[in-house]
Amino acid sequence: MKQFTFSEMNRASGEILEAALVEPVSLTKRGKDKLVILTAEQYRKLIGRSHTQAYGLLDAPEDIHRELMTGLEDIIGTDNA
């Protein structure tokens, strides 16, 4: 899986999204995996596995939802103040 930082996502989002069409892409912040971008087909296969837990943005537990929103805000440069 290719890895990119949130800063790289801000500078080269098109290239990173193109890479995600080929294979899942990990977005990291401060050296830790925070988000994974994958195709809809890959996602459907993932949620079909009973031993793997996957959430959509709206059905994620509060702590995971908060982390997802923080990551997305960092990528698009918004502030939730």
Please indicate, yes or no, if residue 70 is contained in any of the structural domains.
Answer: yes
Domain count, the chain: 1
Q: Given pLDDT bands bounded at 50, 70 and 90, which one contains residue 28?
A: very high
If one compares 57 and 81, the residue with the highest pLDDT of the two is 57
Please indicate, yes or no, if residue 24 is contained in any of the structural domains.
Answer: yes
Please indicate, yes or no, if residue 10 is contained in any of the structural domains.
Answer: yes
Please indicate, yes or no, if residue 81 is contained in any of the structural domains.
Answer: no
Please indicate, yes or no, if residue 34 is contained in any of the structural domains.
Answer: yes
Q: 25 pLDDT exceeds 60?
A: yes
Q: Which domain holds residue 51?
A: 2-76
Mean of per-residue pLDDT scores for the chain: 82
Please indicate, yes or no, if residue 12 is contained in any of the structural domains.
Answer: yes
Name 10's Cβ contacts closer than 8 Å, sequence gap at least 6: 75, 77
* Domain containing residue 27: CATH number: 3.40.1620.10
pLDDT of residue 52: 52
